[in-house]
Copies of this chain bind each other. A is one copy, B any other.
Amino acid sequence: MALKTADEYLDSIRARKLTVFYRGEPMDSVVDHPVAKAAADCVADVYSAALDESLAPLMTRTSPLVDEVVNASNILWRSRDDLLNRVEWERAVGRRTGRGALRSPGLDAINSLAIVTQQCDQAKGTEYHQRLLAFIERVQREDLAVSGAMTDVRGDRSKRPGEQADPDMFVRVVKQDADGIYLRGAKAHQTSAVHCHEHVVLPMTCGPDETEYAVACAVASDTPGITHIFSRQPSDSRRAEGAPLDVGLPAFAGCESLMIFEDVFVPHERVFLCGEAEYTQELVRYFGSFHRFCYGGCKVGIADVVIGAASLIAEANGVRNKSAVRNKLTEMVHLNETMYACGVAAAAKGWQTSAGTFSPDIGLANVTKLNVTRFPFEIARLAADIAGGAMLTLPSQADLDHPELGAHVRKYMAGNPSVPTQQRMALFRLLEFLTHGSGAVYFLHESLHGAGAPEAMRIILRREVDLSPFETAARNLLAGA
């Protein structure tokens, strides 16, 4: 069984030499630094979950590639059940961590590459698919965490890669030699990239005269020439203060970084596309749609926590049985289950690709995500409505722990006497974290922009959903038809 424990995973990341800066200072350890630790623990949780008896049926699969049980984050999907299963484990991990399954982008990267490399090889006689399978085999055997490095910094967004003032606004191949290729550029807001063993670099859509940008490859995280600038998030520095109550969700978190490539060398056997610009649109379409689909599990799981917290706060405020509160909770559940239903449906209408793997329905995957760009915001608003004003105006843990002030805080922050005041405060802070703190980066902002902004879904829907059968249906019913 090719499964690392959480500790083995954390040690394996500790062992890597990375160049990471946070607020202008080198971050010595991305595993133990107070601002990064919870994010590392969140990746580690995907390892733990695979070894958890109750979750193992969701979190693991036997891979025919290596004939071993591997983490479901690293498989090629071989059935509709694999897809349905993914929605379930994404939701489970989202619900466990309040953040989500941080190995997902890599999963989408290998599955989208599997399709496109097979197509490219067949048409052009390249050997990318075989290289990819070899890479996946190693990833499965060693149970590696893989990031999907897609989003370029993009500079002036009205301009294509080749039109930018600075040609490095999209990651590109600046040199090729007998041994491999050299990458320059930067990938923006790379989720948990500092906590991954491998990065799968993917291109944006390229035109025929932009072949230098048409590159996909795997890069080991400790390859020389990679620098991370670790992002600031709302209230991030609270994690360094030693007051977990103020953090809200002390155990888990996400992180992202600006990942800069300064002429990074990648050997040929790790290259999965290089110059075949005509395949980039398909690759982007698959990668984006796969990742959009997974939000029907992942963000739903976070929303489960938001709903649970809102319900507990209602209890702590003494109003859980009021019909106005119950109506709001029901609406939150309704919106959340709608997102989930879209993810499930995209899986249930999945289909087998020419590579033998399975893809969720592309249209429904985008429908899923378009709802995800809207509903978490309304769920967050309703949670804040239920919570009341104290959610963002609480005294601090230091006030609570203060020898004299503490009595004031305990007296005046008390609600329903059957709920301990400290728990009531912790609930407010959890909701603050998820909707206005660094958790909001994932529950709200990533819901909006992860795997593309709403406009990207609309463009796909326009392309994927052919209106002509609807028009034919209408025409058939007309008077005189």
Contact = CB atoms under 8 A, between A and B. Distances in A.
Interface stretch (A110-118, A273-281, A393-401): A393-401
18 contacts: A21-B399, A24-B401, A97-B477, A156-B417, A168-B411, A189-B389, A229-B408, A231-B393, A237-B241, A252-B477, A304-B473, A307-B467, A311-B467, A329-B467, A334-B370, A338-B371, A344-B348, A389-B445
A475 to B, nearest CB: 7
Interface in A405-420: 405, 408-409, 411-417
A349 interface: yes
A304 to B, nearest CB: 5
A430 B232 contact: no
Nearest to A152: B412
A478 interface: yes
Given A312-B474, A334-B370, 7 more contacts: A24-B396, A305-B477, A308-B472, A311-B467, A330-B458, A337-B461, A341-B368
A473 B409 contact: no
Interface in A108-159: 151, 153, 155-159
A248 interface: yes
Contact of A367 (B166, B186, B341): B341
A438 B137 CA distance: 47
Contacts of A311: 467, 470-471, 474
A418 B202 CA distance: 29
A371 B307 CA distance: 19
B367 A334 contact: yes
B441 A392 contact: yes
Contacts of A238: 237
A178 to B, nearest CB: 30
- Per assembly, the copies of the chain total 4
A318 B159 contact: yes
Sort A-B residue pairs by CB-CB distance and give the 6 closest, nearest first: A24-B398, A308-B470, A308-B474, A341-B345, A156-B318, A348-B348
Contacts of A449: 384-385, 388-389
Contacts of A462: 326, 330
A330 to B, nearest CB: 5
Most buried by B among A97, A155, A413, A479: A479
A374 B348 CA distance: 24
Given A153-B413, A166-B414, A389-B151, A477 B233 contact: no
Nearest to A241: B237
A1 interface: no
Interface stretch (A55-63, A67-75, A209-217, A421-429): A421-429
A251 interface: yes
Interface string A309-338: 101100001110111101101100110011
Given A233-B393, A348-B347, A312 B385 contact: no
A7 to B, nearest CB: 20
Contacts of A305: 470, 473-474, 477
Contacts of A323: 323
Given A260-B408, A348-B347, A390 B252 contact: no
Nearest to A245: B479
A267 interface: no
Contacts of A378: 377
Contacts of A219: none
A440 interface: yes
Interface in A334-363: 334, 337-338, 340-349, 363
A225 B133 CA distance: 73
A30 B115 CA distance: 56
Contacts of A317: 156-157
A415 B467 contact: no
Interface in A150-185: 151, 153, 155-159, 165-166, 168-169
A471 to B, nearest CB: 4
A423 B338 contact: no
B385 A471 contact: no
Nearest to A427: B478
A330 B346 CA distance: 18
A246 interface: yes
A254 to B, nearest CB: 10
A258 interface: yes
